[in-house]
Amino acid sequence: MKKLIYSLTLIFMLGISANPTMAAGTKDKNKTELTAEQQVQFKKITDRVEEIRNMDKSNLSRTEKKELRKELKEMKNQARAMNGGVYLSVGAIIIIILLLILIL
């Protein structure tokens, strides 16, 4: 009996943790419109990313490259925050499911 329960929970967990991909032609129905202020900020971020992309990085030092990567990560987080939404990791989803199983 335990093997059956463990195998069912394993299949359930693996089924939940699969990352669904969207087809290229579909559009997100819950997209939120950006305000004018957010659009300006988003434009600044995209301009800076393009500037970094077009930059010649071969003559930069190791610390300068590290700072550029850090700046790009921060801008990526800002852009994600502007789009809104709640992001849950697979680990967080598994913990939530386990808590629900234990409670029920």
Q: Which residue carries 């939120």 as its tokens?
A: 32
Q: Is residue 2 part of a domain?
A: no
Asked whether residue 14 carries a pLDDT value surpassing 80, the answer given is: no
Domain that includes residue 67, residue range: 34-93
pLDDT for the residue numbered 87: 65
More confident residue, 22 or 37: 37
pLDDT of residue 28: 53
Mean pLDDT of the chain: 79
Residue 18 lies in a domain: no
- Number of structural domains, the chain? 1
Count of all residues that appear for the chain in the document: 104
pTM of the model: 0.46
3-class SS at 19?
Answer: coil
Which residue stretches of the chain are H helix? 2-17, 36-54, 62-83, 90-103
Residues 83, 32: contact at Cβ < 8 Å? yes
Answer whether residue 71 is part of any domain: yes
